[in-house]
Structure 1
Amino acid sequence: MRIVICDDNPIERNNLLEVATHISKSEGYDAEFEVFENAKQMLFELEDKLELIDVMLLDINMPGIDGMEAASKLRSRGYIGEIVFITVSKEHMLMAFDVRAFNYIVKGETDSTKTVKIIKDVFEIASEKSKEYMLFTGIGEYRNIAINDIKYFEVRGKIITVYYGSKSFEFISTIGKLENLLFTKGFLRVHRSFLVALQYIKTFAYDGITLLDHKEIPVGRKYYSGLKEAMKENAVG
């Protein structure tokens, strides 16, 4: 599990790292930490490896690019991991949901017991998500792929292509079989040729979807109502 901590205050940054490290060890997680003192540096360093990050602990009140703006940029670039905000005020709580934050810690208000529980909970969620894999059989090759990394499937004839991270893999199956296997994992049929992970959808309309990586996928007329209902169920507010 890879965890990022970003806070401009060195004392609070080190305290957070100490608490998170202690929790990861006591809970038995194999964790790696990356620590940043500002959001600009963090965004630059993580640009090409967002799919590898499981949890981000972000301070909101930082000079330059604040934590909320950084989180928005991360989501628009395709980051789907967990975010916990560190803030000085509850006024940011509603905005935190706009970027699908897991939770938030209020400096000077959230006590140590609650802080530990929040970090424990987010580590547990991230760990469980990273454990789910599917094995695909291609021509002379097997590929074990984390379900959480899969963006969508496309079928052409008898060949299905799974797109995950920045990679793809071809195998033989049916889109109907995949639909049944992955329905409870947050995947939805949106077209006779496409099965999409809801968490990667940025925008949608009656005739198409735009994913977080800006890939555009068509929506079949008979699938639109199901897509609209599924997106409503996952909406905040």
Structure 2
Amino acid sequence: MISLKAVGVDDEHPALELIKNYCEKASDIELISTFNDPEKAIEFINQNDVDLLILDINMPNINGLELLQKVQKNILCIFITAEPEHAAKAYELDVIDYLIKPISYTRFEKAIKKAKEYALFKQSKNEVEDYIMFKSDYIINKVSLDDILWIEGFGEYIKIVSQFKTYILLQRLSKFEEDYQYLGFVRIHKSYLVLKNHIESYNSRSVILKNGKELPIGRTYKDNLKLI
């Protein structure tokens, strides 16, 4: 499993002590520094190798959202907040999770696990994985390929339909296809992608998935199915 170098930032000393204690208990994470001064944190982060920020949102002068935008690197982030509505403001940022105060160790450990999985996913993207990770509902989600039923595009958005939940992403279907075709996704229609191994059968008009769902075949995409 990948090991993460983390920095904790919170203007409250007890909160920093809690982060230290939790990081000591968690595996595969090294808390290399903590700060209660956001300006000093930004300077340190921009000059050092940091994988993950554990970052309070409500801080004086520079809040957590502003701090993350000032960092000159693409760093994973777990936000800590007492006000969940801040999640909407961070939609464009690569936020792994939101921890709502007071934070239990079990909840903290779950967020750290997700950060490690996402870092590993990004690092090994050229290898075949059995899941995908993406941003939806303001956080990074992990979904098994076995659970994905189909991907549907509409304009600037796509809908990932799984057995348990439907996710909406701000992404074009063509971009998703480009990124994840290597995992076995095949375009069957201008608006639909499916996984090859989830196809039960097909005819001239439609694809029947193993769960019984029937999806239309676009005329220009029929050749894609000949390779299945």
Shift in CA distance, 232/36, structure 1 to aligned 2, threshold 3 Å:
farther
Is the CA contact 1:5–1:36 (under 8 Å) kept in the aligned structure 2?
Answer: yes
1:44 aligns with 2:47: no
Aligned partners of 1:127, 1:32: CA distance in 2, in Å? 18
Cα drift, residue 59 of structure 1: 0.5
Kindly state the Cα deviation for residue 35 of structure 1 after the two structures are TM-superposed: 0.9
* Superposed counterparts of 1:31-180, under 5 Å: 31-49=30-48, 52-74=49-71, 77=72, 79-108=73-102, 111-127=104-120, 129=122, 132=124
- State how far apart, in whole Å, the 2-side matches of 1:15 and 1:122 are: 19
Name the CA distance, whole Å, in 2 between partners of 1:19 and 1:34: 14
**Deviation for aligned residue 1:129:** 4.5
**Secondary structure in structure 2 of the residue aligned to 1:65:** coil
More helix per residue: 1 or 2?
1
Cα deviation 1:33-79 (Å, max 9, x = unaligned): 21111211111222233xx21111000111111111001112xx2x2
SS in 2 for 1:95: helix
TM-score using structure 2 length: 0.50
- Which residue of 2 is the match for residue 166 of structure 1? none
Q: CA deviation at 1:115?
A: 2.4
Question: Aligned match of 1:17 in 17, 20, 24?
Answer: 20
- Rounded Cα–Cα distance in structure 2 between residues aligned with 1:69 and 1:35: 18
Report the count of equivalent residues.
Answer: 135
Q: 1:97 to 1:233 in 2, by over 3 A?
A: farther
Contact 1:85 1:96 in 2 (8 A): no
Runs of 5+ in structure 2 lacking a partner?
130-171, 180-228
Separation in 1, partners of 2:99, 2:65: 14
Greater RCO (Cα-Cα under 8 Å, separation 6 or more):
1
Provide the rounded CA distance (Å) in 1 between the counterparts of 2:32 and 2:89.
26
Q: Which amino acid aligns with 2:108?
A: T
Distance in 2 (CA, whole Å) between partners of 1:20 and 1:126 is 17
